[in-house]
């Protein structure tokens, strides 16, 4: 019986409504068979390539060019205040339901509204479906070179692992599907496994890809940019096992899960750093402004996988500020909470260790750190200056004239607390990370989204090893490797397990800031009620003598902090179709 590429019912039903047709669906005569595709070597590879298309465009995946950071305690989105019109406002008001997920709404790409961010649930299932269909057909497909058959198989398994990990991070355990759904699939038989079952399946796919002799560790030819590698297999496995060991999915604190996570990350670091194949970039700030170069001896050896989508002219008029010409909006503006997370460079100590009030207006200042409330931006971790534009920062030039950032009230890019004010910060800060000050508004940026990078693996290892074995020498080594690159002092010796846990979490916060880690980290640690009730900013007043006064204020109170927001609800269309989803909807929904 011939098989035709048609838009089938593909798991689960939201894919039918949400995913695009494959690029191979229709030929001029309207009937292209799967047999025909996999008998053609060029079309076989094209079908595998189509499985990559469901990977989100991270710079453009959310509505009105918002970053996920704007829904965390990292940033406050300048569009917030327009309830009903954007994701930041709707997330802050707790508008998430099984029928409506603000983070599943329209994304934007290439300057126009696209489905780049629409329906992640459906897109991830579509990616799984494409990988499954490829894996079902690749054994008998026309592929002249056996090396390619082996490599393509490994890539498809990694794509399946990638999509499953992204899916279960957001929605919890999902049915394990290894064969493509057909029009006759009985969805009433689908059941939710345990989270551990999902992780085992992800790890199995990663291990099988790692066992392939034909999957390279890294890409060395530009024509293959964006293809999956063994390094990506290590990164997916490292992250998957870390999430599995974390409190959200490991309520009993099973040390064996932490040990498995530590072992996977250590294996990854050993494989990646052997022979200098992968290493941390020397310059943290400039690292995020450049596309990875592809060669046998690349300058960028930190990036494991970056999304090759282009940051077009639109990118340089968003996440900008009022003093620049042609600016569209300020975008994701860093919060005072993020700023407070940066240590002092000279001492290596935290400047702020917490707050003595619920509104975060009374910081607990570390007296031995060297921090000054009257000069709060002096002497901080260099990653602060690479991530945040603050009052007094030397921006570079605007229209050929040197510009110093003025975020004080009444300044050229000053704070405006009453929303909506798209072009002005609502926190007293602007985003620096990913933003090249040399670029004029409307010009194309070379920034790329670093989905996986070596620094994350070091941090994954440090966290897992500390939880499994305490603050061993290996834990110190991993964290201090990250801090050394940032030109920060080593952590002090003699930390307890609990103290090391806190320092590791602080390190993740600043090293991975704005990179879509914080949103998931505070969930897997189950600390939403500590981090997501509100965000604050800094109101700066310029006095007549030219000095400044600083006053903290609550920029936004938020509602999405209860435990039910730890995991997204399964979409209502799925719940009404798959009985087990109805019986086992996520807690609180």
Judge whether 373 lies within some domain: yes
User: How many folded domains does the chain comprise?
Assistant: 1
Asked if residues 279 and 273 have their Cβ atoms less than 8 Å apart, the reply is yes
Judge whether 346 lies within some domain: yes
Own/partner contacts of 347-351, CB < 8 Å, gap of 24 or more, are 347/489, 348/483, 348/488, 348/489, 348/490, 348/491, 348/492, 350/506, 351/376, 351/380
Given phi > 0 = left and psi -120 to 50 = alpha, else beta, which region is 448? beta
Which pLDDT belongs to residue 511?
A: 99
Largest CA distance in the chain: 85
How far is the C-alpha of 36 from the C-alpha of 4, rounded, in Å? 9
Judge whether 443 lies within some domain: yes
Q: At what angle do helices 454-469 and 473-485 cross, to 10 degrees?
A: 150
**Closest of 355, 222, 233, 187 to residue 298, by C-alpha:** 222
Asked if residues 506 and 350 have their Cβ atoms less than 8 Å apart, the reply is yes
**Rounded average pLDDT per 10-residue block, the chain, 589 residues:** 33 36 48 84 96 90 84 93 72 94 69 55 96 97 97 99 98 96 88 98 99 98 96 99 99 98 99 97 94 92 86 75 84 97 99 98 99 98 98 92 96 86 91 87 82 99 99 99 99 99 99 98 98 98 97 97 98 93 96
Judge whether 102 lies within some domain: no
Which pLDDT belongs to residue 309?
A: 64
Judge whether 171 lies within some domain: no
Judge whether 437 lies within some domain: yes
Judge whether 505 lies within some domain: no
How far is the C-alpha of 232 from the C-alpha of 217, rounded, in Å? 8
How far is the C-alpha of 287 from the C-alpha of 517, rounded, in Å? 18
Which pLDDT belongs to residue 11?
A: 34
Q: How many CB atoms lie within 10 A of CB 373?
A: 10
How far is the C-alpha of 28 from the C-alpha of 182, rounded, in Å? 24
Residue linked to tokens 């709707």: 90
Structural domain range at position 394: 310-447+527-558
Which pLDDT belongs to residue 407?
A: 97
3-state secondary structure of 536: strand
CA angle (583 as vertex; 582, 585 as ends), nearest 5: 65
Which pLDDT belongs to residue 360?
A: 99
Q: How many CB atoms lie within 10 A of CB 580?
A: 15
Which pLDDT belongs to residue 316?
A: 74
Asked if residues 580 and 192 have their Cβ atoms less than 8 Å apart, the reply is yes
Which pLDDT belongs to residue 85?
A: 58
Q: How many CB atoms lie within 10 A of CB 368?
A: 9
Judge whether 516 lies within some domain: no
């Amino acid at each position: 019986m011939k098989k035709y590429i048609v838009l089938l019912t593909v798991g689960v039903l939201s894919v039918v409504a949400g995913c695009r047709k494959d690029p191979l669906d229709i030929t001029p005569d309207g009937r292209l068979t799967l047999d025909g595709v996999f008998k053609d070597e060029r079309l076989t590879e094209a079908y595998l390539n189509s499985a990559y298309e469901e990977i989100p465009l991270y710079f453009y995946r959310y509505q009105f060019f918002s970053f996920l950071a704007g829904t965390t305690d990292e940033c406050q989105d300048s569009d917030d205040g327009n309830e009903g019109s954007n994701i930041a406002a709707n997330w802050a008001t707790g508008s998430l339901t099984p029928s409506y997920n603000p983070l599943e709404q329209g994304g934007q790409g290439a300057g126009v509204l696209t489905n780049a961010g629409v329906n992640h649930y459906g897109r991830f299932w579509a990616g799984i479906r494409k990988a499954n269909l490829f894996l079902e057909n690749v054994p008998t497909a026309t592929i002249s070179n056996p090396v390619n058959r082996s490599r393509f198989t490994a890539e498809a398994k990694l794509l399946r692992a990638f999509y499953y990990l992204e899916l279960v991070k957001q929605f919890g355990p999902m049915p394990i599907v290894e064969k493509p759904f057909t029009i006759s699939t009985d969805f009433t038989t689908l059941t939710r496994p345990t989270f551990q079952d999902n992780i085992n399946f992800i790890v199995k796919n990663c291990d099988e890809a790692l066992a392939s002799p034909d999957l390279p560790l890294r890409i060395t030819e530009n024509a293959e940019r964006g293809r999956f590698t063994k390094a990506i297999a290590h990164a997916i496995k490292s992250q998957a096992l870390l999430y599995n060991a974390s409190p959200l999915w490991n309520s009993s604190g099973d040390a064996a899960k932490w040990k498995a996570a530590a072992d996977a990350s250590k294996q990854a670091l050993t494989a990646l750093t052997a022979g200098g194949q992968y290493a941390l970039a020397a310059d943290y700030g400039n690292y995020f402004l450049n596309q990875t170069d592809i060669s046998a001896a690349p300058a960028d050896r930190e990036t494991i996988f970056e999304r090759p989508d282009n940051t077009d002219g639109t990118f340089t008029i968003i996440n900008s500020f009022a003093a620049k010409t042609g600016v569209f909006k300020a975008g994701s503006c860093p919060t005072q909470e993020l700023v407070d997370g940066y240590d002092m460079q000279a001492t290596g100590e935290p400047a702020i260790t917490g707050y003595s009030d619920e509104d975060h207006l009374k910081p607990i200042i570390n007296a031995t750190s060297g921090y000054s409330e009257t000069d709060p931006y002096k002497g901080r971790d260099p990653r602060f200056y690479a991530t945040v534009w603050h009052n007094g920062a030397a921006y570079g030039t605007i229209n050929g004239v040197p510009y110093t950032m003025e975020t004080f009230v009444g300044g050229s890019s000053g704070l405006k607390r009453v929303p909506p004010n798209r072009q002005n910060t609502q926190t007293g800060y602007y985003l620096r990370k990913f933003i090249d000050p040399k670029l004029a508004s409307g010009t194309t940026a070379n920034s790329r989204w670093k989905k996986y990078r070596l620094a994350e693996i070091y941090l994954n290892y440090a966290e897992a090893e500390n939880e499994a074995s305490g603050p061993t020498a290996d834990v110190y080594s991993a964290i201090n490797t990250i801090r050394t690159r940032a030109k920060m002092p080593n952590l002090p010796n003699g930390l307890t397990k609990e103290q090391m846990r806190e320092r590791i979490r602080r390190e993740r916060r600043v090293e991975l800031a704005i990179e879509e880690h914080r949103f998931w980290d505070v969930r897997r640690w189950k600390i939403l009620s500590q981090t997501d009730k509100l965000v604050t900013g800094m109101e700066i007043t310029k006095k007549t003598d030219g000095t400044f006064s600083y006053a903290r204020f609550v920029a936004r109170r938020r509602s999405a902090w209860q435990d039910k927001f730890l995991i997204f609800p399964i979409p209502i269309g799925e719940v009404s179709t798959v009985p087990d989803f109805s019986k086992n909807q996520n807690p609180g929904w």
